[in-house]
Chain A
Amino acid sequence: MTRLLRKAATVATALSIAGGGIAGIAGASSISNTGFNSDNTVNQNTKVRQHVDNDNHVGVHNFNGQLTATGDAKTTKNTTGGDATSGNASATNSTTTTLAITNTAPSVSGLGGGTGDNSIDTTGAQSTNTINNNTSVHMSVDNDNSVWVSNTSLQGSFSGDATVSQNTTGGSATSGDASATNSTTTSITITNQ
């Protein structure tokens, strides 16, 4: 009796933000060629709030039950009897579980990056030129991963009895081999990046 069970699962959660991700906040502004004593101001206020909530809950249960048994062999009450030989009993199980979860969130480093260029150029004397950039980015990522894998394998392998009895002439009594082999492989990888 041979049983081969293979399970594989991959969960990938990739976050992509429309408009080019965190970087690339639009809004290029320019003021140029203004007159004497001008008051030139560029105010840019950007507020970004991102919340990512990845909940991955995976449960895997593999149950394998095997029972192999060969029958008894008897040679009894014969004048001339042969051998009594019971067969071999073998149970083999192979279970493989592979599980991968990948949670991907955009990088929060290197904010800025240029598409929102602001410039004040060629203004007159005594001008007051001010560029105010206020950028607020709040990134919140909650990854809650729980994985539960349970492998249960129960195997019984029994070869039968061999009996040679009450014969005038009898052969040998030989019972078979019994073997139970189990192979279990479990691989779990969670990547939060």
Chain B
Amino acid sequence: MTGFLNLRRITAISLILLLLASLPLSAWAAGITQPTGVAAGTFTYNDQTGLWENDYFTWSPDTYIYTPKFDQPYTYNDATGLYDAPNWVYNTADAKYEPATISVAQPPAGAVVIGGPPAVSTISDTGAGSTNTIDNDGAGDTSTIDNTGDGSTNTVDNNGNNTTDLNSTNGLSVNNQIGSSAVSGAAAVTQNTSAGSATTGSAQATANVVNLLQSQTSLQGDVATFTYDIYGNVQGDLMIDPAQLSNVNTTVPNDPNSLTINSSTDASINNNVDLTAASGDATVSENTQAGSATTGTANAVAQIVNVINSIISSGQSFVGTINIYGNFDGDILLPQDTLNNILAANFPTVNATLNPDGSISTIANTGQGSDNTVNNTSGSNTDINNTNNTSINNNVDLTAASGSATVSENTEAGSATTGSAGTNLVLLNLTGQQIICGDALLVFVNVLGNWVGMIVNAPSGSTAAALGGGNCSASSMPAADTNVNSTTNSTIDNNLKLNAQSGDATVTRNTKAGDATTGGATASANIANIANSSLSFSSWFGILFINVFGSWHGSFGVNTAAGGSNNNNGGTNNTSDGPHGGQVVQAQVFHFIPETTSSSDNQTFTPVEGSASIQNTGSGSNNGTVLAAANTQSPSSPSLQPTSKSSGLFWTAGSLFALAGVLSAEEAVARRKEARAKFRSYLDAITVQPFKRY
């Protein structure tokens, strides 16, 4: 019994010591009262102010009053007749503060008050023969004349003269200059008695550009991004499962054009993207016996998302890219009934867009060198003049050329085969639309070879589409009814120049040698332009780029016979005796797992690969297991070393010239020289504006 009592004493003393240890020493020593309640543990004592504080409130041990550390203006709500103010409330379940709104009938003394109820004037209980007049002309205070005698003349004259002049001038400009050259070296096997092959590496130039200009985004947490590269031919279905992405309670965003009088906004996005990918030449010549000459592939890819004067509200979101460097036989699927609504598509060859005034504008998908413009002008009534000019200009120049293959003057040699060359442009414009859905996906299908397939629910031939799930509504943007003389000029200029060139392969003057084979060359671009639109998704929002550098036999969102089975019901896909030799074919599932970063409380979602049984019928590997939250490199790429930031523009430019000069001394291949010369000339051509001083 005594031992039990001692144990209780020890436990009690330990708890007291733990409690005391949790207090700041100064507060403990001074015996200062601490706050109570569920959020008490978030407060720490500030010796200098004599207050308990956390990130949102202070608490006085003298008055026991909580004081917000954030601005808390009280705004009169005409609908409720109450005053609303922002607040932060501790959520015990999540153990953190969350934003909330408090509504009170009367703001506390000293509070900042915005607005108020309309004035009330009364004249009552007047005597016989009185003349009573209330003349309210505009706002005024509450006035009362009450209980007057007979024959009185009673007058309340309120004259309110309110003039408001709101002038907003917004000039916004984003200029992106991107010049990238990727050139692999030449390979030569010459004048040997016996030697091997000459093989040049592949060249890949990629640009990903996302511009959000004068656009409000309410995306929960960080945007999960991934790039997944698959090398070789792929057989089997792939599945993307965003189900783990959490829902949020989103509100329909406010009209982006409200609350302005005499508002003028000029917003422009200029993307100048110049990509060059060139693989080196391969030469096998003048050998007694040697191998083949093979040049690598050259791919130039640009992926651009422009969002201007728009609102995107969503829960978790992701931007992903799947690159398949080979042929693909299979479907890319989503869980059943995930995205059943087609919101927009880019076929047939004309994008129909709803303008704010209800009219329909079109952009013709005219291919290379096109110059596309949509001008929307609308006025809702005689008092309101909204001029909304949207101009989207896509100037896309794609060039792909495979090198020449030569086998000549050999005693005995193999074949000469040139690689394929292909260009492709996938363009999706979304203008003047208001879309509310549970979730949505913008998908771009960029197939450099032949594609036999379709996008679910989209017209046949579509290569890009906006798909929605849940309860969806899509309409044209409503005309704003509070704007007066609003002019918005939005311009998106996409100037893309992509060049892909695979090197020449030459087998000449050998006694005995192999083949001459040049790699394929592709230049392609995926472009999404979203202008003057409002997108609200209660669940998730994703953008998915699918680049297949070979041919694709299969569909997106439709489970066809491609890939081995069409028995998939939204889960894994098993077949024991399908058309592909009885091989088990399962859908490879990509889903997202939640992660909490140590540096913040934000919960991020990392896309990972689930069960995988893709049949790889070609060379290379597709056995990646985790898709990183940032762009991943191809398995064969070298590890990337971080570099320190440049100390200045001139240092960097100078270094570029110096390095380029050193390299040029040993240039032997004409194309390589051209590429470098082009790079240098580009450096000369660009004008870097100095940091503007105001």
Taking a contact as CB atoms under 8 Å apart, the answer to whether A164 and B196 are in contact is yes
Taking a contact as CB atoms under 8 Å apart, the answer to whether A165 and B189 are in contact is yes
Interface size, chain A (Cβ < 8 Å): 127
Task: State how many angstroms separate the Cβ of A60 from the closest Cβ of chain B.
Answer: 8
Contact pattern, A 124-156, Cβ under 8 Å of B = 1, otherwise 0? 111111111111111111111111111111111
Which of B94-102, B157-165, B621-629 touches A?
Answer: B157-165
Contact pattern, A 20-47, Cβ under 8 Å of B = 1, otherwise 0? 1111110100000000100000101000
Taking a contact as CB atoms under 8 Å apart, the answer to whether B185 and A180 are in contact is no
Taking a contact as CB atoms under 8 Å apart, the answer to whether A172 and B145 are in contact is no
Q: Chain A's interface: helix, strand, loop or mixed, by majority?
A: strand
B198 interfacial contact with A, CB 8 Å: yes
Chain A residues closer than 8 Å to B110, beta-carbon distance: 20
Point out the residue from B144, B150, B194, B637 that lies within 8 Å of A177, measured CB to CB.
Answer: B637
Interface residues of B in 607-625 (CB under 8 A from A): none
What separation, in Å, do the CA atoms of A144 and B158 have in the docked complex?
35
Closest chain A residue to B659, Cβ basis = A67
Chain B residues closer than 8 Å to A5, beta-carbon distance: 645
Chain B residues closer than 8 Å to A142, beta-carbon distance: 167-168
Chain B residues closer than 8 Å to A92, beta-carbon distance: 631, 633, 640
Interface residues of A in 67-89 (CB under 8 A from B): 67, 69-70, 72, 83-84, 86-89
Take A189-B216, A192-B168 as given contacts and tell me if A65 and B76 are in contact as well, using a CB distance cutoff of 8 Å: no
Taking a contact as CB atoms under 8 Å apart, the answer to whether A166 and B190 are in contact is yes
Point out the residue from B157, B643, B656 that lies within 8 Å of A133, measured CB to CB.
Answer: B157
Taking a contact as CB atoms under 8 Å apart, the answer to whether B189 and A170 are in contact is yes
Taking a contact as CB atoms under 8 Å apart, the answer to whether B652 and A65 are in contact is yes
Task: State how many angstroms separate the Cβ of A98 from the closest Cβ of chain B.
Answer: 9
What separation, in Å, do the CA atoms of A20 and B76 have in the docked complex?
12
Take A65-B656, A135-B140 as given contacts and tell me if A173 and B199 are in contact as well, using a CB distance cutoff of 8 Å: yes
What separation, in Å, do the CA atoms of A14 and B72 have in the docked complex?
12
Take A111-B162, A123-B152 as given contacts and tell me if A61 and B631 are in contact as well, using a CB distance cutoff of 8 Å: no
Chain B residues closer than 8 Å to A116, beta-carbon distance: 141-142
Chain B residues closer than 8 Å to A123, beta-carbon distance: 147-149, 152
Taking a contact as CB atoms under 8 Å apart, the answer to whether B148 and A114 are in contact is no
Taking a contact as CB atoms under 8 Å apart, the answer to whether A140 and B149 are in contact is no
Chain A residues closer than 8 Å to B177, beta-carbon distance: 150-154
Taking a contact as CB atoms under 8 Å apart, the answer to whether B208 and A183 are in contact is yes
Interface size, chain B (Cβ < 8 Å): 143
B176 interfacial contact with A, CB 8 Å: yes
Taking a contact as CB atoms under 8 Å apart, the answer to whether B144 and A65 are in contact is no
Closest chain A residue to B107, Cβ basis = A20
Interface residues of B in 173-202 (CB under 8 A from A): 173-202
Take A3-B645, A113-B116, A125-B149 as given contacts and tell me if A133 and B184 are in contact as well, using a CB distance cutoff of 8 Å: no
Chain B residues closer than 8 Å to A128, beta-carbon distance: 152-153
Total A-B contacts with CB atoms under 8 angstroms apart? 504
Taking a contact as CB atoms under 8 Å apart, the answer to whether A192 and B184 are in contact is no
Taking a contact as CB atoms under 8 Å apart, the answer to whether B663 and A69 are in contact is yes
Taking a contact as CB atoms under 8 Å apart, the answer to whether A126 and B152 are in contact is yes
Chain A residues closer than 8 Å to B356, beta-carbon distance: none
Take A117-B141, A158-B185, A161-B188 as given contacts and tell me if A175 and B180 are in contact as well, using a CB distance cutoff of 8 Å: no
Task: State how many angstroms separate the Cβ of A78 from the closest Cβ of chain B.
Answer: 9
What separation, in Å, do the CA atoms of A38 and B627 have in the docked complex?
88
Take A152-B177, A159-B185, A186-B211 as given contacts and tell me if A167 and B193 are in contact as well, using a CB distance cutoff of 8 Å: yes
Taking a contact as CB atoms under 8 Å apart, the answer to whether A118 and B141 are in contact is yes
Contact pattern, B 96-119, Cβ under 8 Å of A = 1, otherwise 0? 000000000000001111111111
Chain B residues closer than 8 Å to A118, beta-carbon distance: 141-144
Point out the residue from A107, A169, A174 that lies within 8 Å of B192, measured CB to CB.
Answer: A169
Closest chain A residue to B160, Cβ basis = A135
Taking a contact as CB atoms under 8 Å apart, the answer to whether A67 and B656 are in contact is yes
What separation, in Å, do the CA atoms of A57 and B31 have in the docked complex?
51
Take A150-B175, A166-B190 as given contacts and tell me if A121 and B146 are in contact as well, using a CB distance cutoff of 8 Å: yes
B694 interfacial contact with A, CB 8 Å: yes
Taking a contact as CB atoms under 8 Å apart, the answer to whether B188 and A163 are in contact is yes
Take A156-B656, A172-B199 as given contacts and tell me if A178 and B210 are in contact as well, using a CB distance cutoff of 8 Å: no
What separation, in Å, do the CA atoms of A173 and B284 have in the docked complex?
9
A182 interfacial contact with B, CB 8 Å: yes
Taking a contact as CB atoms under 8 Å apart, the answer to whether B656 and A154 are in contact is yes
Taking a contact as CB atoms under 8 Å apart, the answer to whether A173 and B209 are in contact is no
Taking a contact as CB atoms under 8 Å apart, the answer to whether A119 and B195 are in contact is no
Chain B residues closer than 8 Å to A27, beta-carbon distance: 141
Closest chain A residue to B193, Cβ basis = A168
Task: State how many angstroms separate the Cβ of B75 from the closest Cβ of chain A.
Answer: 7
Closest chain B residue to A82, Cβ basis = B196
Taking a contact as CB atoms under 8 Å apart, the answer to whether B78 and A110 are in contact is yes
11 new A-B pairs (CB below 8 Å) besides A123-B149, A165-B192, A173-B196? A59-B692, A59-B694, A61-B691, A63-B646, A110-B117, A113-B115, A121-B144, A132-B159, A138-B163, A145-B169, A169-B195
